[in-house]
């Protein structure tokens, strides 16, 4: 239903939301591996998220990405729009330029309802809502970062 970019944006943002309570940056390599996203593609997606003000990046040894705002304030609509989804009320499923309520195409009524529901869903759900679901709770275990390597000398 969504483009690859949108799916990757949702995956990466959920992953960052999972780790938002740790107040640290997630390395691109770790995020790419955990979310099953090619690193070069992930970098492109994260640039879009940063441009939208959803994430912040940090370069260097402890660098990576982190949410710029708390998960409860990140609406899925913002993630979708940053990834390229356009919620156009006048967009016709057939691409007809004069399709509207007064001059509808055959799909107009059904398409309008579908778009409205999608928009309502995206506007009324946040990253925190995703994590609060039953499937979101199960994902918290599988999407955790691997433990950091120990700095203690080997015995």
pTM (two decimals): 0.80
Does residue 52 sit in helix, strand or coil? Answer: coil
- pLDDT score for 46: 95
Instruction: Check pLDDT > 70 for residue 140.
Output: no
CATH 3.30.750.24 fits 4-142, yes or no: no
> Which tokens go with 94?
């057939």
pLDDT above 60 (res 147): no
pLDDT tens profile 94-136: 888 888 888 888 988 888 888 889 999 999 999 999 988 877 6
pLDDT given at position 149: 53
Q: Where are the domains of the chain?
A: 4-142
**Residues 46-95: tens digit of each pLDDT:** 999 999 999 999 888 888 999 999 999 999 999 999 999 988 777 788 88
Torsion of CA 18, 19, 20, 22, to 10 degrees: 140
Mean pLDDT throughout 5-33?
90
Q: Which of 124, 117, 20, 7 is nearest to 66 (CA)?
A: 20
**Residues 96, 58: Cα–Cα separation, whole Å:** 45
**How far is it, in rounded angstroms, from Cα 21 to Cα 23?**
5
Q: Where does residue 101 rank: exposed (0-12), middle (13-18), buried (19+ CB within 10 A)?
A: exposed
């Amino acid at each position: 239903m969504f483009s690859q970019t949108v799916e990757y944006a949702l995956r990466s943002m959920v992953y960052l939301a999972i780790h938002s309570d740790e107040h640290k940056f997630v390395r691109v390599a770790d995020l790419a591996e955990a979310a099953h996203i090619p690193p070069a593609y992930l970098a492109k997606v994260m640039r879009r998220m940063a441009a939208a003000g959803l994430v912040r990046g940090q370069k260097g040894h402890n660098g990576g990405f982190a949410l710029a705002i708390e998960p409860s304030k990140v609406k899925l609509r913002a993630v979708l729009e940053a990834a390229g989804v356009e919620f156009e009320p006048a967009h016709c499923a057939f691409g007809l330029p004069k399709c509207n309520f007064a001059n509808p195409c055959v799909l107009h009524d059904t398409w309008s309802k579908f778009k409205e529901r999608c928009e309502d869903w995206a506007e009324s759900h946040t990253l925190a809502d995703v994590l609060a679901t039953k499937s979101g709770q199960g994902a918290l275990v599988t999407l955790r970062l691997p433990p950091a390597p120990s700095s203690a000398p080997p015995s």
